[in-house]
Homo-oligomer: A and B are copies of this chain.
């Protein structure tokens, strides 16, 4: 597989392609042209061809793309078959929502355990995931070669816990704390879930539909 440096904008678009391709496969469509795909996704055919050309050639001139093959290639590029070992830290409402409802296996991760400081939850098993005391985290990470942590602790503990995780050898953090983490180790990969950005965008789109105050 060709593995040139791909821009993060292209990579950010790949999950959207993947969702679209899943949808096409579900509806029994096994081949699609860049023109049709573009129309359905609000992109130009040349944009699509350019995106896909970054990591090799999937399409055949005049025949379009093979949906199943394209899905597999994108999955492989994204590392969705990697099964990176992950732990979830902070089993409050957000943590529970993820453990109960989110299928980590589909997206490249194997959720091995949860960690919390509260006796209410330590020792329990939630949706087949065992919850351990946060004091046992260092040992667990090293013994199980854990790669990633899903950070769901309260905001005030975010930096402390994140820095501990980095010290214990965690390589990547999926950050749900609604704060920008400040890490001493800048090699740790951080991916933030910014609820606020999304809600601000919604606010903007509602605002846009309102009659302009100047138009009186």
Contact = CB atoms under 8 A, between A and B. Distances in A.
Interface of A: 1, 3, 11-12, 14-16, 18-19, 23, 77-80, 82, 84, 92-94, 96-98, 100-102, 104, 106-109, 147-148, 154-155, 171-172, 174, 178, 180, 189, 191-207, 209, 212, 214
Given A3-B212, A82-B206, 11 more contacts: A1-B214, A11-B204, A16-B197, A82-B207, A84-B206, A93-B93, A102-B195, A148-B202, A174-B202, A191-B205, A193-B198
A148 B80 contact: no
Given A79-B207, A172-B206, A201 B148 contact: no
A15 B154 CA distance: 22
12 contacts: A3-B212, A19-B196, A77-B207, A78-B201, A78-B207, A79-B206, A101-B154, A147-B206, A171-B209, A172-B202, A189-B205, A193-B198
The interface residues of chain A, by DSSP majority, are classed as helix
A172 B198 CA distance: 13
B198 A191 contact: yes
Contacts of A96: 93
B15 A201 contact: yes
Contacts of A101: 93-94, 154-155, 178
Contacts of A11: 201, 204
Contacts of A93: 93-94, 96-97, 100-101
Contacts of A78: 200-201, 203-204, 207
Contacts of A205: 172, 189, 191
Given A3-B212, A109-B203, A204-B78, A195 B195 contact: no
Contacts of A214: 1, 3
A92 B102 CA distance: 14
A202 to B, nearest CB: 4
